[in-house]
Amino acid sequence: MDRQEFLAKFGIGIAAICAGCTFASCGSTVKDDDPTPDDGTGSNPPAGALVSADLSSELRNVGESKVANGIIIVRLASGNAPESFTAVQVACTHQGVAINYNNAQGRFVCPAHGSQFNTTGDVLAGPATSALKKYTINVNGSTLSVSS
């Protein structure tokens, strides 16, 4: 085998190996098999909850929000009744961009394309056409928990 033939075969082999690496990395990401959700605070929420908040230190003022575990929680009113809060999915139903809460307007707004949603997740303005998933809120003492 001469040098040119060796380099040609060697190059094809390397290309095949690199293509295999590229294709292997194109699959879905590895999923976490841990069934215990993380609320983003480093501690686990109460049993059955997807997210929790300590109301003595979080969400103390109207308009404040917390994002964790794909959910945005917003304080809508004073007091610690469940009705004083809302929790919806944080991903806009149009293209999945994280939404924000605009307290002055009392609505969720997608910064990418301007979709707007009310506090229960219903679409107010497109391009989104589907409502945000709304979650159930429970308050026990100073602990707020969000569940499906």
Q: 122-131: long-range contacts (C-beta < 8 A, 24 or more apart)?
A: 123/93, 126/94, 127/94, 128/92, 128/93, 128/94, 129/93, 129/94, 130/93, 131/93
Q: Please say whether the dihedral angle defined by the alpha carbons of residues 110, 129, 119 and 68, taken in this order, is positive or negative.
A: negative
Per the domain annotation, does 27 fall within a domain?
Answer: no
pLDDT at 11: 53
Return the C-alpha torsion angle 133, 136, 139, 145, nearest 10: -60
pLDDT tens track for 44-102: 556 678 999 999 999 999 999 999 999 999 999 999 999 999 999 999 999 999 999 99
pLDDT of residue 94: 96
Report the domain count for the chain. Answer: 1
CATH number at residue 141: 2.102.10.10
CA 72 – CA 100 distance, rounded (Å):
8
**8-59 per-position pLDDT tens digit:** 555 555 444 444 444 333 333 333 333 334 444 444 556 678 999 999 999 9
Whole-prediction pTM = 0.69
Residue 44: inside a domain, yes or no? no
What was the pLDDT predicted at 49? 83
pLDDT for 1 equals: 61
| Structural domain span for residue 106 | 51-147
Q: Does any domain span residue 100?
A: yes
